[in-house]
Structure 1
């Protein structure tokens, strides 16, 4: 069988590409998906007790008119709209996110420690005109030793599972709120919160089916082109041919890979150049483990003993295994088996070669972590009616110091073979790895193929 365009993966990028090809009138394309369902890391799962879970805390917000129009069509009004309410748990108290803008909520000694680190002369400087050498040095320089120690360093190690000295910082952009001493002091003295920062301060969420409902709907638009349960195991680039674990062979003119770039180069690609293989070995990632707890009863917010309206929370505390917990029932009551009478607490824990976790005991340690953070009363353990666990080896593409050079080596060489690699792990750029970015990487690739338009979301220049 021959197609003009072969797409590996039916996640956001692959489906975005397939949908745009179809919109532009192209019919000679196929999508091969290893799993039995679409969505990739944006898929959702229904457990045996009737709770719906995402793989992590996805929220729907956008930088693109095209993506907005598309999701409007796919959701057809069946969504909730939320204002972001996110918090950081530090020293037994809750600090509004972004942490660095709201340190007035800290106990006095910690508050002073953070302010003192921001004072002139207290922030370490790499030297006149010298840029920080790595993410760790950038944290210390921008936030000072206080905020670095109390939040930025421990939290980032938990989420990336990578020492910050091994990471670059060109990815940051709108991902991290910077800090100004004057604004911090103003917030402290005027007792005001600064919580509106960021592109996701309002977001939408499907009423039913979790985030995966969006991509189930998108997949239906191109369903005749998608084959599930077909994991690509070999790509013969010079012959323009791919083979799956089920024995399916497809010839193509152009290949779009949305699977992990390192696997494409090191496992699937036939006779890759040695420098490509060496570069792919420099690409690092963490693994993420989601623990979902379904709990009878709505509970209360310990801050005011009313309904808990918090969306998600961050945890730099090393005694708590997860880096983030999402009140998934708040996103949609239909994420629980009995809407309006249950909670769905979704916790994310990261691991890597640098940060190990005992996964056999993780569920119990998550429960203890929730109790430590006052998110689960001691007596509520017996009201846990569902425990859901799912792990993915590829969780976050880590922006290491070597990443950009590796991509500069790999991507042009692949394109010379009529292979394009895009998406969260296909492109390996976390800074353009949200759902909207990922869909638009596929859309823009399709437009490049059929209309010779320039891609703007995925570029090799940082």
Structure 2
């Protein structure tokens, strides 16, 4: 088999690239996808009880007109729009997100500890050298202890001291002491911060419906069930574990970069293998808990909730029944809690015990009454090895080693794990990395979302 453009992975980046190639009149491409379905980490599944689940809490919001237009063409009116309502469970109470802007909801001792840490002279003044130091410098020891440190360890499964902080950008609301005090004194909440304060969601089929529809536009150019085993950059061939060999002109990889450079590539050398080994990631277990709603009060209006405390294994729970009524088999009558727990060598978990611990955590966090555990209708779960690419201290050096070498071989690696830059790994970023790569290939225009510097 022979193709001009070979794309590894039918996730958001690979499908975005293929779609843009077709728009530009280029149809000589092929996608290899290891799974029997499209979507990658944005796929969705329907369990045997009729509940729909995503692989984690995805929402649709955008920085790009192209992405907005694409969503319009794919979903039309088959989507809902929500105002974000997210909360943090801290000190056995609920604090509106962003936590640092709404600490008035904390018990008095914890509230004072957070404010005291923000007062002049109580935060380090030296330039931080890692994410842990950045947290202390920006938020002070109180907010660090009550939220930032425990939450970030739970989500990244990596000590903040082993992470850089250049990735943060618009993802973390920094703190303003005057605003904090004003909100406390005036008893006012500040909840509108962030690019996803409104978001859209498919009416049917979960997030995966977006990419099922996109993949259908190029169904004859996708080979499912084909997992890459070897890439020979000199021969310009890719071989799968199922025995398929494809000769290509240019390769777009959206699979994990550490696998490409450290395992699959025939021309890998010691330097590349070492750089690949310095890229770190966490793994994520997603547990879906579905049951009938006993009364209206159980269907609270929250979209998702963050959990820094140790009485639950998960770092986030999504009220998936609020995203679309069709995520449950009996709309308006059932609850769907989607719970995410990370794990790694720094934060090992017994995955086979996480479902039971998740249920206990829902009870501990007051989301599920203890007497309702026996009413659970479905327990769906999936564990993904590659959950989040961690912006570790060695990441940028590893990317500076790997990406130019790959580019010189006619291999371009993009996407959440193909590019390994969490700061441009939202759904819109991921699709646009593929779109901009296709425009670079066909039109010669420079990429803007993912850069090699």
Query: TM-score scaled by structure 1?
Result: 0.97
Asked if the contact 2:3/2:29 (under 8 Å) is kept, the reply is: yes
Q: Please, which of 417, 425, 428 is the counterpart of residue 409 of structure 2?
A: 417
CA RMSD of aligned residues (A): 0.9
- Distance in 2, Cα, partners of 1:400 & 1:2: 38
Q: List aligned pairs for 1:276-425, cutoff 5 A.
A: 276-297=272-293, 299-300=295-296, 305=297, 307-425=299-417
- Distance in 2, Cα, partners of 1:299 & 1:334: 19
Partner of 1:54: 54
- Distance in 1, Cα, partners of 2:130 & 2:369: 41
Partner of 2:117: 117
Asked if the contact 1:7/1:32 (under 8 Å) is kept, the reply is: yes
- Distance in 1, Cα, partners of 2:177 & 2:192: 18
Q: Describe the superposition over 1:282-328 as per-residue Cα deviations: whole angstroms up to 9, x where unpaired.
A: 0000000000001111555xxxx474000000000012100000000
Asked if the contact 2:117/2:142 (under 8 Å) is kept, the reply is: yes
- Distance in 2, Cα, partners of 1:147 & 1:299: 35
Partner of 1:6: 6
- Distance in 2, Cα, partners of 1:189 & 1:347: 35
Q: Please, which of 433, 443, 455 is the counterpart of residue 425 of structure 2?
A: 433
- Distance in 2, Cα, partners of 1:77 & 1:340: 20
1:217 aligns with 2:219: no
Partner of 1:17: 17
Tell me the SS of whatever aligns to 2:446: coil
Partner of 1:176: 172
Gaps of at least 5 residues in structure 1 are: none
Gaps of at least 5 residues in structure 2 are: none
Q: Describe the superposition over 1:114-146 as per-residue Cα deviations: whole angstroms up to 9, x where unpaired.
A: 0000000001222xxxx2010000000000000
Q: Please, which of 180, 196, 202 is the counterpart of residue 192 of structure 2?
A: 196
1:149 aligns with 2:145: yes
Q: List aligned pairs for 1:250-265, cutoff 5 A.
A: 250-265=246-261
Asked if the contact 1:118/1:181 (under 8 Å) is kept, the reply is: yes
Q: Describe the superposition over 1:410-429 as per-residue Cα deviations: whole angstroms up to 9, x where unpaired.
A: 00000000000000000000
1:443 aligns with 2:439: no
Partner of 1:93: 93
- Distance in 2, Cα, partners of 1:180 & 1:217: 43
- Distance in 2, Cα, partners of 1:451 & 1:118: 51
- Distance in 2, Cα, partners of 1:287 & 1:54: 15
- Distance in 2, Cα, partners of 1:383 & 1:306: 14
Q: Describe the superposition over 1:159-218 as per-residue Cα deviations: whole angstroms up to 9, x where unpaired.
A: 000000100000000010000101100111111111010000000000110000000000
Partner of 1:41: 41
Provide the aligned length of Structure 1 versus Structure 2: 453
Partner of 1:69: 69
Q: Please, which of 128, 132, 152 is the counterpart of residue 132 of structure 1?
A: 128
- Distance in 2, Cα, partners of 1:423 & 1:292: 26
Tell me the SS of whatever aligns to 1:267: helix
Q: Describe the superposition over 1:68-114 as per-residue Cα deviations: whole angstroms up to 9, x where unpaired.
A: 00001100110111000000001111000000010011011100000
Please identify, of 373-382 and 38-47, the stretch whose mean Cα deviation from structure 2 is larger.
Answer: 373-382
Tell me the SS of whatever aligns to 1:116: helix
